[in-house]
Structure formats: structure tokens, C-alpha cells
Amino acid sequence: MSASLSFTTPSPPVTTQVASQLLATMAALTGIPSDYNIGSQIRTMAEAGGSVVEIQGVSNQAQALQAILFSGFSAFDITPNGASYATGTVQFVTGTGASPPVATQNVNIAAGTIVSTSGGVQFQTVSAVTLLQGQTSVTANVSATTSGTAGNVSANTITQILTGLTYPLYVSNATPTSGGVNAETQSQTQARFSSAIAAIGLGSPTAIANAVIGVTVSGTGETVQYSTLYEPWITASGTASGQALWELYVDNGSGTASASLISAIGNMINGVRDAGVPYTINAVEPTFCVVSVSGTMASGQNSALSAVSGLIAAAVSGYFALPFGATATQAALAGSVANSVPGYLSSLAISLFVSGSATAVSGIAVPAYGRNLLGSVAVTLAAAAT
């Protein structure tokens, strides 16, 4: 004879149950006839109190289930990853032309000086710098003021100085900012937990690839967010086609992986790899995509133009969380964008390009060890005619 145990939680009381119990108690205790019909003051008050009890019961149940879930995470040493701030460099210059004038005095630029893109993404200088008299420019390290992927901006987009300076200067960023990562959602943490469980069956390609998800470089926060294991011998031909070996490709979420991250993977992988089989650990081979979005606001929606532009840019960025080997398609991208701004546009056109090409394509395929990533997105919206 055997028995099985199953976990259950009591269902929270609903509003009508609480209200009925309260009214029944009132009637039994007072013995005084009262109006308990729907719409009466007493019944309305009872239902209001019941709704509070119901919401609290649902909240308590959700917290209990969440506690159980995170207890499982902690058993595998998995905790949600926090957000990180994008960083980069900017150049403060004395002019915008090819031959800007030299500074006539030393210009001190304090740490915390705020610069911004035209879209409002702000950065602050990490340390103080000085533009020396007789020079035309000085470079400063900057960090986004808000964590997350919004701080990963394209080159030449930081163009505004918001903190007052003692000398007229201009600012620009010759290279993109990078490293901004959104705080991990519960579903993403759960995906890492699933990867850890999948890695228990050690030695298989799936187990090896899943085992390295979440490996972090100490002190930097750089983490493996995507990985795949590619076995070239399976598709190879010729005399060496039968030699077993595998290649692990990893991505920190921005289309690359530092030497430090690859080293960290090498230090932990001996416990999960198949002994005696040659292998390499490699950074992802990214294909950067360029997206152009244009459209016209629907009648009466012009006041939301700026917000809609931001929602579209976010939808494009979200679409490109594609796994290894996934094809980026214009149709799927268009669907993601359209779903992000329902009812706000009267027309919408989306073009997809491989970075460096001026020819729009319907899809961009990558090999099993490659990923499609967003290189840049341009959103141009016209106001509705009034």
C-alpha cells in the first residue's frame, strides 16, 4: 500500500461569502429586522469589507506560493539578478565644426555632471575632468542615472548638457554605451532555475549549455544570459568528421562575452562536461540588426506621440531577446510593435536591415552558434493632421 502527498493551499474567501457571513451574524445577534437586500447601506458596507478580506486572502496565498518557489531557488543557490547601469564615454568639446576653437581657460567638469540624449536618457560623469586651456576637447566616463537596458544608447545620441558649466561646451558620444541590464523578472529567475534542473543530467549538450547560465564574473556583474552547445562534427564531412568535440557559445546579453567571463566558465565547467572530449568556450557570434519604424498618429492621439515612440523602441528592444540560432523576421517584429501601441497609430511601416546594409529584408537567419541582436532603432512618427 502506498500513499502520495500533494501540496494544497486553502482558497481565500470571496466577497459574497464574507458579506453573507457578516450579515447572518448581525441578524442572529441583534434580532432586529433590517434591510439586507442588495443595494442597501448595510449590505453595501458588508460587501465592501468582504472585498478587502478577499484581496488580502489572495495576496497572502500568492506570497505563500512565492515563498515556496523561492525556497526551491535557494536550494540551488539561485537568487534574482539585480539591474545594472550602462556605462560609456562622452567627449566635451568647444564646438561642433571640424575645427573647433581652443578653450580660453581651464574648464572644470565636476563628477555628477548630467548629460542626456534628446529622448531624455540621462547619464552622469563618473569622476571630475578638466578641459585645459588651449585644448578643444576632453573625454569623460559616464554612467546612466537609471539602471536597465534603456541606458544602452547608440553612438552620437548623447547631445545635451543639463548641468550648468562655466564655459560653453558641447557633448557627444562617439561610441555606444553598454552594460545596462534590467532587473531579472521572476519568470527569468524561474528560467534559470529550470536550466539548473536541466543541468543535473550532466554530460549532455543540453545539460552543459544550461549549467553555465548564470555564471558571473566576480566584481563586475557580467553574467551568462544565453548559451548553446554546438557540435560541428555532426554536420561535418571528410576524414575528421567522426571526431567528437563540442563548442560552447555564450552571451552576456549584449552580444559579447569578456575573456574574464569565459575564464569563469572554464573554472566551473569541469564538473559538468563529459571527460576526455575536446571542447572550446567562445563568445557569441552576433549579427546586429537595424530597425526603422515610421508611422502616423491616429486622430486625437498627438499628445501621446513621445510616449508612443518610447513604447515602440521598447517593443523592438524586447523582440530582440532572441535565443541562439533564431531567425529575426520583419513580420514577427511588426506584430510586436503593433501590439505595443494599439489604437495610437493610423499607419505603421517597419523595415529590417542587417547592420551596414541599406537593403530591407524579410528575415535574418543566423547559424546555431549566432544570435540576432538589435544594433539600432530609429522611430519616426508624424502627428495626425488637425
**Over the stretch 134-165, which tens digit does the pLDDT of each residue have?**
999 999 999 999 998 889 999 999 999 999 99
> Is-contact 199 211, C-beta < 8 A?
yes
Spacing of C-alpha 187 from chain mean position? 12
Domain boundaries defined on the chain: 15-75, 87-172, 186-283, 286-382
pLDDT value for 240: 52
HSE, CB side, 13 Å, CA atoms: give it for residue 136. 8
Q: pLDDT band for 1, please (50, 70, 90 cuts).
A: very low
349-371 average pLDDT score: 94
Phi–psi pair at 255, nearest 5 degrees: 90, 25
Report which of residues 274 and 261 the model is more confident about.
261
Ramachandran bin of 283, using left for φ above 0, alpha for ψ from -120 to 50, beta for the remaining angles? beta
pLDDT value for 83: 86
Pick from 119-123, 193-197, 229-233, 252-256 the range whose average pLDDT is largest. 119-123
C-alpha cell at 303: 499628445
Sign of CA dihedral 315, 316, 322, 326: positive
Closest CA to 318 of 303, 339, 348, 343: 339
CA distance 135 to 95: 11
> Is-contact 125 219, C-beta < 8 A?
no
pLDDT value for 381: 94
CA distance 282 to 266: 11
pLDDT value for 80: 78
Put simply, whether the predicted model's pTM sits higher than 0.85 gets the answer no
**Residue 19 three-state SS:** helix
Over pLDDT 90: what percentage of the chain?
49
CA distance 115 to 113: 7
Phi–psi pair at 344, nearest 5 degrees: -90, -20
CA distance 207 to 215: 14
353-372 average pLDDT score: 94
pLDDT value for 52: 75
Report which of residues 72 and 342 the model is more confident about.
342
CA distance 244 to 352: 38
Looking at every residue in the chain, the average pLDDT score rounds to 84
